[in-house]
Amino acid sequence: MNKYTQYKAEVAGTGMHVPKKVLTNFDLEKTLDTSDEWIRTRTGIRERRIAGEGESSSTLAAQAGNQALNSAGVAPEEVDLIIVCTSTPDILFPSTACFVQKEIGAVNAAAYDISAVCSGFVFGLSIAEQYLKSGRYRYVLVIGSETNSRIVDWTDRSTCILFGDGAGAALLKRTESAGSGGLLSSHIYSDGGKSDLIIVPGGIGKTGVSCKSVEAGDYFIKMLGNATFKVAVKRMVEVSQEALEFNGFTHKDVDLVVPHQANRRIMDVVTEKLGIPADRIFINIDKYGNTSAASIPIALHEAWGEGRIAPGNLVLLPVIGAGLTWGAALIRW
């Protein structure tokens, strides 16, 4: 038997940081053919945060990461690995995670980015889980951070109303404690055949950046909304059921669902199909919009801070993202 099989991965601390600038639906009414009512009824969003001058995915991530470390009482030097989940990196390279490592002083940590778009944080948890359960590392900092406002077309009401900026973080620790707590399992999937549903088509390694592609808006988010809605519901329900069955649970055992905050209607339909009551879902999309890889860790931090999660609770984290990517993690708090 592997001597490391007794190890578990537990959440030691969480953190979040969002820009100060607030962009409301009423602000968008001034420049778009839309209304607060139209946006709220279709998405559940009332406002979102927008990164300002001097703010980027790395600066937001560093703030969230520091908060997670402080809440856990862990020094930056103790961190073994930093995973930044982002589809809006500061620059092409070096990785945003390396900038975060420098900013928070995690001098002993390896650091790298992963790109699974909205699914990034759950994909990051799945990586951290393997390192910790194998005994390889003691502390892994997983951060979802996005500056989506920099890659949306502010004249396209079908997409720009949806997205916001922010960062959320979770510090995971290796533990040998007895019991059934910790990150029980993570389940991740991809389907490149549906890559056209949500995409930023502008090329870098394939075609290079050109004035023509920039002027054509190829570096903005493009989305097929109706098709995305249908597949999002199907995949999030399937993977949530898989995570529960894998661990011997049913929907009745779930204390709280902390889903990717993509669209209020998606979240409502998913939990309805799972048979989970509305009072067991945490929703904050009204304040932040879709912050992509940051949405679940921001919501997780707020849910814990508001007392919606208590020790022993079973917490389900389902997600869908571009790629197509999807997944779910199940945590015994």
* Reported confidence tier of residue 5, pLDDT bands at 50, 70, 90: low
* Residue 311, C-beta contacts closer than 8 angstroms, at least 6 positions apart: 333
DSSP-derived secondary structure letter, 87 = S
Mean local confidence (pLDDT), 94-115: 98
d(CA 318, CA 300): 12
Rounded to the nearest 10 degrees, how much is the dihedral formed by the CA atoms of 69, 75, 78, 84? Answer: 30
* Reported confidence tier of residue 2, pLDDT bands at 50, 70, 90: very low
Structural domains of the chain sorted by starting position, each given as residue range(s) with its CATH number in brackets: 8-175 (3.40.47.10), 182-332 (3.40.47.10)
Alpha helix stretches (DSSP H) within 81-224: 96-104, 120-133, 157-160, 211-215
Q: Is the pLDDT of residue 58 over 60?
A: yes
β-pairing verdict for 139-147 and 81-85 = parallel
Mean local confidence (pLDDT), 247-275: 98
3-state secondary structure of 226: helix
Sign of CA dihedral 201, 187, 315, 228: positive
* Reported confidence tier of residue 59, pLDDT bands at 50, 70, 90: very high
Number of other residues whose CB lies within 10 A of the CB of residue 218? 17
**pLDDT of amino acid 179:** 64
**pLDDT of amino acid 181:** 86
d(CA 73, CA 208): 45
β-pairing verdict for 81-85 and 110-114 = parallel
The answer to whether 142 touches 125, Cβ cutoff 8 Å, is yes
Q: Is the pLDDT of residue 44 over 50?
A: yes
The answer to whether 121 touches 183, Cβ cutoff 8 Å, is no
**pLDDT of amino acid 48:** 98
d(CA 138, CA 277): 36
Question: Among 15, 325, 17, which residue's Cα sits nearest to residue 165?
Answer: 17
149-178 pLDDT, tens per residue?
Answer: 999 999 999 999 999 999 999 999 999 875
The residue among 181 and 111 whose pLDDT is bigger is 111
Question: Among 313, 244, 231, 303, which residue's Cα sits nearest to residue 270?
Answer: 231
Phi, psi of 116 (to 5 degrees): -130, 20
For the chain, what is the mean pLDDT?
Answer: 96
By percentage, how much of the chain surpasses pLDDT 90?
96
266-296 pLDDT, tens per residue?
Answer: 999 999 999 999 999 999 999 999 999 999 9
* Residues annotated as catalytic (active site), given as ranges: 118, 260, 290
Q: Is the pLDDT of residue 242 over 90?
A: yes
d(CA 191, CA 197): 11
d(CA 300, CA 310): 12
Question: Among 280, 84, 314, which residue's Cα sits nearest to residue 184?
Answer: 314
**pLDDT of amino acid 180:** 73
By percentage, how much of the chain surpasses pLDDT 70?
98
